[in-house]
Amino acid sequence: MDFFRQLFLSGDFQPHGFCYRWNSGLVWLNVLSDALIALAYFTIPFTLLWFIRKRRDLPFSWMFALFGVFIIACGTTHVMEVWNLWHAQYWLAGIIKAITALASIPTAILLVQLVPKALALPSPDELKKVNRHVVDRTEELGRANAELARANKALLQYQDQQRLVFDSIPYPVWVYESYTLAIKDVNQSAIRSYGYSREEFLSLTIKDLRPAEDTPALLENAKKAPEGAETAGSCKHRKKNGDLIDVEITSGTVVFEGRDARLVVATDVTERKQTEEALRQSDERLNLLVQGVKDYAILMLDPEGRVTTWNDGAERIKGYRAEEAIGQHFSKFYTPEAVAQDKPSQDLKIAAEQWRFEEEGWRVRKDGTRFWANVVITALRDKTGQLRGFGKVTRDITERRQAAEEVERQRNELARSNAELIATNNELEAFSYSVSHDLRAPLRSIDGFSLALLEDYEEKLDAGGKDNLHRVRAATQRMGVLIDDLLNLSRVTRTEMKLQRVDLSAIGRSVATDLKNSQPERRSEFSVQEDLEAYADSHLMRIALENLLGNAWKFTSKRESACIEFGKTHCNGSLAYFVRDNGAGFDPARAERLFGAFQRLHDTNDFPGTGVGLATVQRIIHRHGGRIWAESAVERGATFYFTLEARQGGA
Partner 1 sequence: MDDKIILLVEDNADDEKLTLRALKKNNISNEVVVARNGVEALDYLFGTGTYAGRNLNIAPQVVLLDLKLPKLDGLEVLRRLRADERTKLLPIVILTSSDEEQDRVNGYGGGANSYVRKPVDFNQFSEAVRQLGLYWLVLNQPPPRRT
Per CB under 8 A, residues contacting partner 1 are 432-433, 436-438, 440-445, 447-452, 473, 476-477, 479-480, 484, 487, 491, 495
CB of 508 to partner 1, least distance (A): 24
Helix (H, G, I), strand (E, B) or coil at 110: helix
Nearer to partner 1 (CB atom), residue 59 or residue 448: 448
CB of 614 to partner 1, least distance (A): 22
CB of 440 to partner 1, least distance (A): 4
Nearer to partner 1 (CB atom), residue 394 or residue 547: 547
Q: Which is nearest to 585 in space by CA: 566, 565, 597, 602?
A: 602
Q: Where are the alpha helices (DSSP H) in 169-242?
A: 188-194, 198-202, 206-209, 215-223
Torsion angle defined by CA atoms of residues 335, 340, 341 and 343, in that order, rounded to the nearest 10 degrees: 50
Nearer to partner 1 (CB atom), residue 409 or residue 494: 494
CB of 446 to partner 1, least distance (A): 9
Output the CA angle 233-236-240, nearest 5 degrees. 135
Please tell me the distance from the alpha carbon of residue 92 to that of residue 112, in angstroms, as a whole number: 30
Nearer to partner 1 (CB atom), residue 257 or residue 438: 438
CB of 642 to partner 1, least distance (A): 25
CB of 468 to partner 1, least distance (A): 17
Torsion angle defined by CA atoms of residues 504, 510, 512 and 516, in that order, rounded to the nearest 10 degrees: 180
CB of 521 to partner 1, least distance (A): 23
Q: Please, what's the b/e burial string for 370-409 (b: 16 or more CB within 10 A of its CB; e: otherwise)?
A: ebbbbbebbbbeeeeeeeebbbbbbbbbeeebeeeeeeee
Nearer to partner 1 (CB atom), residue 478 or residue 559: 478
Please tell me the distance from the alpha carbon of residue 46 to that of residue 115, in angstroms, as a whole number: 23
CB of 533 to partner 1, least distance (A): 26
Type of residue numbered 259: R
Nearer to partner 1 (CB atom), residue 239 or residue 491: 491
Nearer to partner 1 (CB atom), residue 340 or residue 441: 441
Distances (CA, A) of 8 to 3, 89, 91: 9, 6, 8
Nearer to partner 1 (CB atom), residue 316 or residue 478: 478
Computed from CA positions of residues 162, 167, 170, 171, in that sequence, does the dihedral angle turn out positive or negative? positive
Distances (CA, A) of 557 to 478, 521, 567, 583: 21, 11, 21, 8
Query: Dihedrals φ, ψ of 645, to 5°?
Result: -115, 45
